[in-house]
Structure 1
Amino acid sequence: MDKSFYTSWIVEEIREEGRQQGCQKGLLLVLEGRGIDIPEEVRERITTCRDFDLLKTWTQRAGTAASTADIFTEEATDREPSAGEDQL
């Protein structure tokens, strides 16, 4: 049996799309589960994002976010401390 189909570029594309959709759904579930209001424009931003790493970052932030704005805002912990700042 020829298995080359399973390693083709189209299958990889389908897998990547599935990972993105799963992360999008997971992010929305976290927000809904925490009782955070999801305005339509935020829902659209999440469901149209195709950057898997960015979706993962947003999902991690959703665990502690007080609102959807906190998910999209650069946090101090997302950057390297500048000279003179304490490192934890």
Structure 2
Amino acid sequence: MDTKNYGWQSDFAKSYIAQGRAEGRAEGRAEGRVVGRVDALLYVLEVRGVEVPDEVRERVTGCTDTEQLDRWIKRAVVVDKAEDLLD
């Protein structure tokens, strides 16, 4: 029996497959929002010519709190040193 193209037939299996897909899409969107904010923050600092030390870069790239990232993006527009983002 060729199982590669086997489609789950029961409603029970279909519902769990659909639930898994929905959860995966939601996680992907959430991760995309975080990555987009991190990229935007680092880009703003780069364009402004603000040097970003490794410690700050690690903290920013490790952050998954979109509200915190939004606060840092607003600060990135006016700070003179990347370290001042984290105060």
TM-score interval for Structure 1 and Structure 2 normalised by the shorter chain:
0.7 to 0.9
Q: Does 2:73 match 1:65? A: no
In the aligned structure 2, how far is the partner of 1:11 from the partner of 1:48?
21
Q: Does 2:37 match 1:33? A: no
Structure 1: 5+ residue stretches without partners: 74-88
- After superposition, the CA RMSD in angstroms is 1.8
In the aligned structure 2, how far is the partner of 1:9 from the partner of 1:36?
38
Structure 2: 5+ residue stretches without partners: 1-17
In the superposition, the TM-score normalised over structure 1's length comes to 0.72
In the aligned structure 2, how far is the partner of 1:34 from the partner of 1:70?
14
- The CA deviation at 1:40 is 1.0
- Report sequence identity in percent: 39
**Structure 1 stretches (4+) deviating beyond 6 angstroms?**
none
- The CA deviation at 1:41 is 1.3
In the aligned structure 2, how far is the partner of 1:66 from the partner of 1:40?
16
Equivalenced residues, count: 70
In the alignment, what sits opposite 1:86? none
Larger radius of gyration: 2
